[in-house]
């Protein structure tokens, strides 16, 4: 990531403030989403909803991490401090993507082997619908912010937001297809296709993290 040695430009400063607001929204939503998904999953006895809630916890950590990284730059002109925050955030974001890959993989394998069918839960359906609407919008806005910041950590966070939206979509589509056609496996097939993209994003995140480390 290229860091300017003088005071941040107005455009970059505005992008930083926008990024901070978006990450604050992310933290609030992921807290609500995680609590509702895990709570409704426990009540309904739905392993998939509980897993979706655990995914929300991972992305909550990512949101907090990015909030720290962007705030570090917004409140400091010290190049060394900003680059240190970016390196730390990039490595931790890459690790979180690995956890998401493991989450998706375990969900697919366990679901197919144990033949876990999607179970209906009104709170679970509502929180999944909310994620399907909110997370793509946040991902789109974060991408726009990152055109000015060029942060590898923020790029990884965008991938995590996309993951949340996709998994919410698979939960809802899996439930609908199971009710309509008895295709209990459809959700896992869709998740497997998405995993290919997620692994690519994870690889790029680690390459960026290594690149930052080599640049020290």
- 131-158: per-residue pLDDT in tens? 999 999 999 999 999 999 999 999 999 9
Looking at the chain, list the stretches that DSSP marks H as alpha helix, in order from N- to C-terminal side.
Answer: 10-44, 47-74, 79-114, 122-149, 152-181, 186-214
- 46 φψ region: left (φ > 0), alpha (ψ -120 to 50), beta (else): beta
Question: Over 70: is that where the pLDDT of 92 sits?
Answer: yes
Place of tokens 């897993």: 51
Could you tell me which CATH number the domain at 10-214 has? 1.20.1510.10
The Cα 141–Cα 19 span in angstroms is 8
Confidence (pLDDT) at 7: 52
Question: Over 50: is that where the pLDDT of 5 sits?
Answer: no
For the segment 80-88, the average pLDDT, to the nearest whole number, is 89
Confidence (pLDDT) at 214: 64
Q: Global pTM?
A: 0.85
Cα–Cα separations (whole angstroms), residue 44 to 32, 40, 123, 173: 18, 6, 10, 18
- 26-69: per-residue pLDDT in tens? 999 999 999 999 998 888 777 778 888 888 999 999 999 999 99
Confidence (pLDDT) at 91: 95
């Amino acid at each position: 990531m290229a860091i300017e040695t003088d005071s941040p430009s107005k455009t970059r400063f505005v992008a930083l403030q926008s990024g901070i607001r978006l990450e604050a929204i992310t933290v609030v939503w992921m807290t609500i989403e995680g609590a509702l998904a895990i709570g409704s999953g426990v009540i309904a006895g739905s392993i998939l909803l509980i897993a979706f809630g655990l995914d929300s916890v991972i992305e909550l950590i990512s949101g907090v991490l990015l909030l720290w990284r962007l705030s570090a730059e917004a409140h400091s002109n010290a190049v060394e401090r900003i680059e240190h925050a970016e390196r730390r955030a990039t490595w931790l974001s890459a690790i979180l993507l690995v956890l998401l890959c493991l989450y998706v993989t375990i969900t697919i394998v366990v679901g197919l082997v144990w033949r876990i069918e999607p179970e209906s839960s009104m709170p679970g359906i509502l929180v999944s619908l909310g994620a399907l609407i909110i997370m793509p919008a946040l991902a789109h806005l974060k991408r726009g912010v990152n055109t000015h910041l060029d942060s590898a950590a923020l790029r990884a966070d965008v991938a995590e937001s996309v993951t949340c939206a996709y998994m919410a979509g698979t939960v809802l589509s899996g439930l609908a297809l199971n009710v309509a056609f008895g295709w209990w496996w459809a959700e896992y097939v869709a998740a497997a296709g998405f995993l290919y993209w997620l692994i690519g994003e994870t690889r790029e995140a680690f390459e960026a993290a290594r690149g930052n480390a080599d640049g020290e």
